[in-house]
């Protein structure tokens, strides 16, 4: 964005200074920007929060005329957007003449986003401008003669076809949904890239320098393709990109439209995209996405109410670190942030009390006393160190503890072990989650940044690796969340399955699979829930097909197994996918249902979201993990101190201890409330699960079977699957699938 603005300004020799400010900007430059700001500053929500926390914020922003929010839809559904909204409310106070302009090409409810940007200046009218015209996108699904996998997300079957597609186009962006998929795809393409076509890798765990090199090479037209994640979803306008490939189902039509827009970034040229499903269920989802895109349907999420942890961070940094304040004035200002527009005064007071003292259960500890009230009623920071610590720990992105990956000279591998000293020096390749290296032993190989490296050891917060060769490297798994299947696409998938006339649109191997399911069992209906029960070996299985996404299914599985345990059905475990859920155990579920000892209507009753959910949350580690994130955002636990940073283990131990104290002595603490809200919305998908339970009430279809059904094959492949790396993985999965299909057909 800075380049695209600066180039025409420089060509016209205009006296306008344009600068960017991110976490990568040097400290000296950031300090200068506070006293001598440019005419145009491109920055992030975190940097805005940092700027308004300084005492001279009014001097910098007092003459601010306009704020432009690009890709607003990507911010308003998360905590970064909540922090931004509070920053905008503060700017509206510092610069009353400020106007806000927001842009978004993929938003389902423009009226809500209009309200969102209008909230800081409610006394002014706000216009909604809709752009019409432009060439409609061209979207297709890969037609292949290769065998489509039953499960998995590697799309290895399509690697040769993808290389042909890259060769036939000028520049191709290949999007995947996770970083581990990006590493697998990039590695697979390079293995068969005998022509040495220039293909690069881009994802958030790579070093900034590596990502910048890829972006520069792409802008200069030196690359044929880039394998990337959501790091290139937004703001990329390379005109030479003539094809976007989505590996795996897109999970939402708005996300697919956003990614399609990276190709042919010109108004009158059609953007072209190709969908490459990773498995057979994803073929259905890709077909649903093609229909949704053709209709121009948007399914982006709506803005959400704000979190108390984000508000606590703003109270401390956005206000107290900048200058003393009166609580009444701050409360009025906070209401001018859309996510907090309905915040009750009582809850605001509790957040303020927490920031000041830590709350009732923690107020005896001096370390949590961060604000003090003066005789005239104003609140100010307790000491200058509070401001210093705030600025070191600002932001709402709480990732798994990260370890730098540094490339060094190897010690030489002998029969899988290493000898000799670790080489010195070496550049940083990027970062990996801390827990990944807890599973590694010296000499283990894995793929990172598209090349095979060997683990040489660790020191402090760095992991040392060397270049290596291995036919069987590990594929790193990252803690980043997967995209959830949108409610809209889920409903379309159910409709396709319930409409045999539409099956002909799909590859023969998929339509044959669906017909086989119809002949052996029944098909899931659009307005009901299919539940299949069958024996297999010494155990009994129940498979249901809600099509509501992995998060909702995982929560449903946890709650159903608790209920089945109470009903003495002796469940042993469950596994969930985006489309289905399987539970297995020792009790004959078909017989229990047939003899009315187990009622499916009672099993799937909405009341499971009451006491069952509460008791499970009390017992699970999920609440503590969620609390850790809330505590870090709220400033209760500080990740960074001058010159040092806490390890992930230290942060977890601190948060667990505090959680136990609060849960025992102040269970309605403001951070416990924030934790429950986050768990229900982000990790459990309670709202969506509740809608599903309401939809299927008295509409559950039970089909007892003597053996596994064709539709259950993909989910059964996930049960107890041994992790296999390298080339053996695909063949092992195919053999297991063949065995299950033969079983479904009664051939064994």
Q: What is the 3-state secondary structure (H, E, C) of 244-258?
A: EEEECCCCCHHHHHH
State the burial class of residue 521 (Cβ atoms within 10 Å of its Cβ: 0-12, 13-18, 19+).
buried
Strand partners, 549: none
Residues 683 and 734 in one domain: no
24: Cβ contacts below 8 Å, ≥ 6 apart: 208
Per DSSP, the three-state class of 353 is: helix
* Assigned domain for 475 exists: no
In the DSSP assignment, the letter for residue 472 is S
CA distances from 736 to 150, 151, 286 (A): 10, 11, 25
Nearest-angstrom CA–CA distance, 380 and 374: 8
Same domain, 148 and 271: yes
For residue 721, what pLDDT is reported? 46
The reply to whether 268 falls in a domain is yes
Q: How far apart are CA 325 and CA 323, in angstroms?
A: 6
Neighbouring CB atoms inside 10 A of 542's CB total: 28
Query: In this structure, what CATH number is given to the domain that contains residue 181?
Result: 3.40.50.300
Residue 399 lies in a domain: no
Q: Is residue 676 part of a domain?
A: yes
pLDDT of residue 648: 65
- Do residue 538 and residue 661 come from a single domain? no
Q: Which residues make Cβ contacts (< 8 Å) with residue 59, sequence separation at least 6? A: none
Cα–Cα nearest to 580, from 536, 535, 541, 549: 549
Residues 734 and 585 in one domain: yes
- Residue at 74 is within a domain: no
In whole angstroms, give the CA distance from residue 113 to residue 338: 9
Phi, psi dihedrals of residue 225, rounded to the nearest 5°: -160, 155
Q: What are phi and psi of 373, to 5 degrees?
A: -100, 130
Residue 555, domain member (yes or no):
yes
Collect the ranges in the chain with pLDDT lower than 50. 413-421, 478-481, 721-729
Say yes or no: 541 and 624 in one domain: no
Which residues of 231-300 form beta strands (DSSP E)?
243-247, 272-276
Q: Are 242 and 158 in contact (CB under 8 A)?
A: no
- 702, 677: one domain: no
In whole angstroms, what is the distance from residue 360 CA to residue 340 CA? 24
* Whether the Cβ atoms of residue 206 and residue 183 lie closer than 8 Å to each other: no
- Is residue 285 in a domain? yes
Give the number of residues written for the chain: 748
- For the chain, what is the domain count? 4
> CA-CA distance, 494 to 271, in Å (whole number)?
28
Spatial CA neighbour of 293 closest among 138, 487, 141, 485: 138
CA distance 282 to 637: 41
Q: Are 622 and 683 in contact (CB under 8 A)?
A: yes
Same domain, 180 and 278: yes
What domain range is 414 assigned to? 405-467
CA distance to 155, 167, 191, 571, 585, per residue, from 225 (Å):
17, 9, 15, 48, 47
Q: At which of 423, 444, 467 does a domain end?
A: 467
Select from 467, 495, 510 the last residue of a domain.
467
| Residue 476: predicted pLDDT | 57
- Residue 28, burial from CB neighbour count under 10 angstroms (0-12, 13-18, 19+): exposed
> 272-276 and 402-407 as β-strands: parallel, antiparallel, unpaired?
unpaired
- Looking at the structure, do residues 642 and 566 belong to the same domain, yes or no? no
Q: Is the Cα dihedral 232, 235, 241, 246 positive or negative? A: positive
The DSSP annotation for 482-546 comes to PPPPPHHHHHHHHHHHT-GGGGGGS-HHHHHHHHHHHHHS-PPPTTSEEEEEEEETTEEEEEE--
- Clarify whether residues 725 and 660 are in a common domain: no
- Classify residue 322: in a domain, yes or no: no
Q: 670 with 735, same domain?
A: no
Contact (CB, 8 A) for 594 and 569: no
- The strand pairing partners of 533, in sequence order, are 542, 704
In this structure, are 599 and 643 located in the same domain?
no
Q: What is the DSSP letter of 158?
A: G
Which of 266, 294, 322 is the C-terminal boundary of a domain? Answer: 294
Query: What secondary structure letter does DSSP report for 501?
Result: G
Residue among 413, 448, 399 nearest 427 (CA):
448
Concatenating the DSSP letter of every residue in 560-589 gives HHHHHHHTT--EEEEEE-SS-EEEEESS-H
Q: Say how many CA atoms lie within 13 Å of 404 toward its Cβ.
A: 13
Q: Which of 539, 499, 481, 433 is nearest to 291 (CA)?
A: 499
pLDDT value of position 149 = 86
d(CA 638, CA 39): 34
Residues 532, 658, single domain; the answer is: no
Cα gap 33→21, rounded to integer Å: 9
């Amino acid at each position: 964005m800075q380049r695209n603005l600066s180039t025409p300004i420089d060509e016209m020799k205009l006296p306008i200074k344009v600068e960017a400010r991110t976490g990568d900007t040097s400290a000296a430059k950031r300090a200068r920007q506070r006293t001598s700001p440019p005419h145009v500053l491109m920055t992030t929500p975190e940097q805005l929060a940092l700027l308004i926390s300084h005492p001279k914020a009014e001097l910098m922003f007092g003459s601010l005329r306009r704020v432009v929010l690009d890709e607003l839809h990507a911010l308003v559904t998360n905590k970064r957007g909540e922090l931004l909204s509070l920053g905008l409310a503060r700017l509206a106070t510092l610069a009353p003449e400020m106007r806000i302009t927001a842009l978004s090409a993929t938003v389902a409810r423009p009226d809500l986003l209009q309200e969102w940007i209008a909230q800081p200046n409610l006394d002014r009218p706000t216009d909604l401008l809709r752009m019409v015209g432009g060439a409609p996108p061209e979207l297709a699904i890969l037609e292949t003669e290769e065998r489509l996998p039953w499960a998995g997300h590697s799309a290895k079957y399509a690697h040769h076809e993808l290389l042909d597609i890259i060769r036939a186009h000028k520049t191709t962006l290949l999007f995947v949904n996770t970083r581990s998929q990006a590493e697998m795809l990039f590695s697979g393409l390079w293995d068969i890239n005998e022509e040495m076509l220039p293909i690069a890798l881009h994802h958030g765990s790579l070093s900034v320098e590596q990502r910048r090199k890829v972006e520069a090479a792409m802008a200069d037209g030196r690359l044929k393709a880039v394998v990337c994640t959501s790091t290139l979803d937004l703001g990329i306008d390379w005109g030479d990109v003539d094809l976007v490939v989505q590996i795996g189902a897109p999970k939402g039509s708005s996300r697919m439209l956003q990614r399609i827009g990276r190709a042919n970034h010109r108004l009158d040229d059609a953007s072209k995209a190709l969908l490459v499903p990773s498995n057979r269920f994803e073929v259905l989802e890709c077909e649903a996405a093609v229909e949704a895109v053709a209709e121009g349907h948007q399914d982006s999420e709506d803005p959400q109410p704000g979190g108390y942890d984000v508000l606590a961070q703003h109270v401390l940094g956005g206000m107290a670190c900048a200058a003393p304040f009166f609580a009444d004035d701050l409360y009025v200002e906070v209401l001018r942030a859309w996510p907090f527009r309905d915040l009750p005064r009582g809850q605001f007071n509790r957040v303020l009390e927490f920031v000041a003292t830590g709350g009732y259960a923690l107020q005896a500890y001096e370390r949590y006393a961060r604000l003090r009230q003066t005789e005239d009623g104003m609140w100010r920071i307790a000491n200058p160190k509070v401001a210093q610590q705030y600025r070191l720990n600002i932001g709402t992105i709480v990732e798994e503890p990260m370890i730098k990956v540094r490339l060094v000279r190897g010690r030489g591998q002998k029969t899988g072990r290493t000898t000799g000293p670790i080489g010195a020096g070496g550049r940083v390749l990027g970062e990996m989650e801390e827990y990944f290296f807890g599973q590694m032993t010296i000499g283990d190989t894995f793929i990172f940044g598209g090349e095979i490296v060997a683990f040489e050891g660790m020191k402090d917060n760095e992991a040392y690796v060397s270049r290596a060769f291995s036919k069987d490297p590990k594929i790193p798994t990252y803690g980043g969340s997967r995209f959830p299947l949108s409610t809209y696409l889920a409903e379309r998938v159910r409709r396709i399955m319930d409409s045999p006339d539409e099956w002909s649109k799909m590859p023969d191997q998929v339509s044959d699979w669906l017909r086989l399911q119809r002949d052996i069992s029944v098909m899931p209906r659009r307005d009901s829930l299919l539940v299949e029960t069958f024996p297999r070996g010494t155990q009994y299985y129940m498979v249901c097909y809600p099509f509501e996404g992995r998060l909702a299914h995982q929560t449903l599985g946890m709650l159903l197994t608790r209920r089945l345990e109470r009903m003495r059905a002796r469940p042993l475990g469950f596994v969930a996918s985006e489309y289905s859920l399987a539970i297995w155990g020792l009790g004959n579920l078909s017989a229990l249902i047939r003899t009315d000892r187990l009622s499916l209507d009672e099993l799937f009753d909405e009341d499971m979201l009451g006491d069952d959910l509460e008791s499970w949350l009390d017992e699970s580690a999920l609440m503590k993990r969620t609390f850790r994130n809330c505590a870090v955002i709220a400033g209760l636990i500080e990740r960074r101190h001058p010159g040092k940073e806490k390890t992930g283990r230290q942060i977890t131990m601190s948060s667990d201890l505090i959680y136990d104290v609060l849960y025992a002595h102040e269970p309605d603490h403001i951070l416990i409330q924030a934790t429950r809200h986050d768990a229900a919305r982000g990790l459990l998908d309670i709202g969506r699960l509740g809608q599903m339970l309401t939809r299927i009430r008295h509409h559950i279809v039970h089909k007892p079977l003597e053996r596994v059904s064709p539709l259950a094959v993909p989910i059964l492949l996930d049960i107890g699957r041994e992790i296999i790396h390298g080339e053996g993985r695909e063949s092992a999965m195919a053999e297991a699938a063949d065995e299950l299909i033969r079983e479904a057909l009664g051939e064994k």
